[in-house]
Amino acid sequence: MSIKVTNLTKYYGDYLAVDNISFEAKKGEILGFLGPNGAGKSTTMKIITTYLPPTSGTVEVDGFDVEEKSLDVRKKLGYLPELNPLYYDMNVVDYLDFVAKLDGIPVNEIKKKREEMIKVCGLESVRGKDIGTLSKGYKQRVGLAQAMINNPDVLILDEPTSGLDPNQIIEIRNLIKKLGKEKTVVLSTHILSEVTATCNRVIIINKGKIVANGTPEELQARSKGQSVVILEVKNNCDKNALSAALKDIRSVNKVEFVKDNGDSFLFNIYGEHGADLREVISNKVMQQKAMVLSMQAKQSSLEDIFRELTK
C-alpha cells in the first residue's frame, strides 16, 4: 500500500477536524477527496505530507510512518499545497532548480529533470519569467512541476485545478490521469465533475468523517434518489388530460407541468428509483394522440449523493 491511514484523528485545540478515519490507496490509483469546505480534506493532506502531526492514529507512506520517518516520507512525496504557494520573485527555471536541490536530486541530474518538467507541464514559453508575473494557470502548472520534479511515488494535490479556465482544467486533468497510471495520486476538490472525470476512487468526507468510499459508479448506484424524465410534447393536445394519464402509470409518483413553451409543453415526471419510464411514457403520450418532441432520462448524479451525504 502506498498510503495507509489508520484511525486518524486530528484536533485543533478543541476543534475536531478529522474524526477517526481510515483508508488506503495503492499504486495506479487516483483517489478523489471530496467534501464541503472545512470537511477535513486539507488537514488530512497536511498530515500525510508530514506538515502536521496526527493527534492520534497512524499514517504510513510507502511503509514509512509520517511521524517517525518524516524525512523518508517527504522523499517519496510530491505535494501541491492548497492555494499553490510559490516564490513570486523567482523565475521558473531558478525555482524548479531550487526545489530539485531541496528534493535531493543529484546536481548533475537537476537540469535534465527540470527540462523534463518544463516539457511535461508546458512551461517552455514562460521559463525565464518571474513567477509573480504569470497567469493563474501557469502558476498552477509551476506548482505541479514543483510537486512532480522528484518523480515521487505519491502525489498529494490539494485542489489542483482551482482557478483554472476550462481548457486548462482539462489539460491538468489529463496530466493527472497520465501520472496516475504509475503513481498514487490523492487529490482534493469540491468540484464534483472533477471526480467523475479523473478519479478511479472517491472518498466523501464530511465534518471530519468518511461518509462514502468507492468508485464513482458504485457511489452513483448507491443513490437513493428517484428517477426523473423530462418530457417535451407538441402543444396540440390537452395538457391536463395528458398529465392525468401519465399519473396513471404505476411506477410514476408525480407529474409536474413545468411550462408552456408556446408550441410545446414541458413536463417533469418523477418515478421510482431505478425504473426507466421512457417506454411507458412514450406509449401513453401516443394513446393521448400527442406528439413527443423530446424525452430525457436524468441519471441521479454524484451531486445528489454528495448533497445527500453532506447536508
Binding stretches for another protein (CB under 8 A): 46, 49-53, 71, 74-75, 77, 79, 81-83, 85-90, 94, 98-99, 101-104, 146
CB of 101 to another protein, least distance (A): 4
CB of 10 to another protein, least distance (A): 11
CB of 199 to another protein, least distance (A): 23
Q: Are 269 and 251 in contact (CB under 8 A)?
A: no
Q: How would you label 50-72 residue by residue, b for 16+ Cβ within 10 Å and e otherwise?
A: bebebeebebbbbebebeebbeb
CB of 255 to another protein, least distance (A): 53
What is the C-alpha to C-alpha distance for residues 171 and 34, in angstroms, rounded to an integer? 21
CB of 89 or CB of 165, closer to another protein: 89
Nearest to 273 by CA among 311, 296, 300, 235: 300
Antiparallel, parallel or unpaired: β 77-80 and 64-65: unpaired
CB of 147 or CB of 212, closer to another protein: 147
CB of 49 or CB of 227, closer to another protein: 49
CB of 77 or CB of 212, closer to another protein: 77
Q: How far is CA 255 from CA 30, 227, 228, 263, 285, in A?
A: 41, 12, 10, 20, 13
CB of 308 to another protein, least distance (A): 33
CB of 60 or CB of 284, closer to another protein: 60
Helix (H) or strand (E) holding 261: none
CB of 187 to another protein, least distance (A): 16
CB of 32 or CB of 81, closer to another protein: 81
Residue 13 neighbours by CB distance under 10 Å: 6
CB of 50 or CB of 227, closer to another protein: 50
What is the C-alpha to C-alpha distance for residues 301 and 196, in angstroms, rounded to an integer? 10
What is the C-alpha to C-alpha distance for residues 95 and 115, in angstroms, rounded to an integer? 12
CB of 133 or CB of 299, closer to another protein: 133
CB of 193 to another protein, least distance (A): 27
Q: How far is CA 225 from CA 16, 25, 253, 299, in A?
A: 31, 29, 13, 9
Question: What angle do helix axes 278-287 and 239-247 make, rounded to 10 degrees?
Answer: 140
CB of 176 to another protein, least distance (A): 19
Q: Cell numbers for 200, please give them.
A: 478511479
Q: Cell numbers for 8, please give them.
A: 486518524
